[in-house]
Amino acid sequence: MPGVSFLFGIEPQRPEWQLTEVADVPEVLTWAEERANGKTFVLYAEFVHEGGHGMIRLLGQEPPGV
C-alpha cells in the first residue's frame, strides 16, 4: 500500500517489526497472526501526511507505558 507502513508487536512489547512492502491490510493481518503464535498482538498503520507523521492502531491494546 503506497505511503503506508505497518508496525507489529507481540504484547506487552512495543512494536518490533515494520512492514512496508504489503498489498493490503488482510495480508498484514495474516502475516501478524502467523507470527503471534496465539499471543495477543498490536498492529498500527503508520503514514506520512501534510502535517507530518501519524499512526493509527488497527488491532490490539496499547502496550503499558505508551
What's residue 13's pLDDT? 65
CA angle 36, 61, 47 (to 5 degrees): 85
Evaluate if pTM is beyond 0.85: no
pLDDT tens-digit profile, the chain (66 residues) = 555 677 777 766 666 788 888 888 898 888 888 888 888 888 888 888 888 888 888 888 766 665
Q: Which of 24, 18, 13 is nearest to 46 (CA)?
A: 18
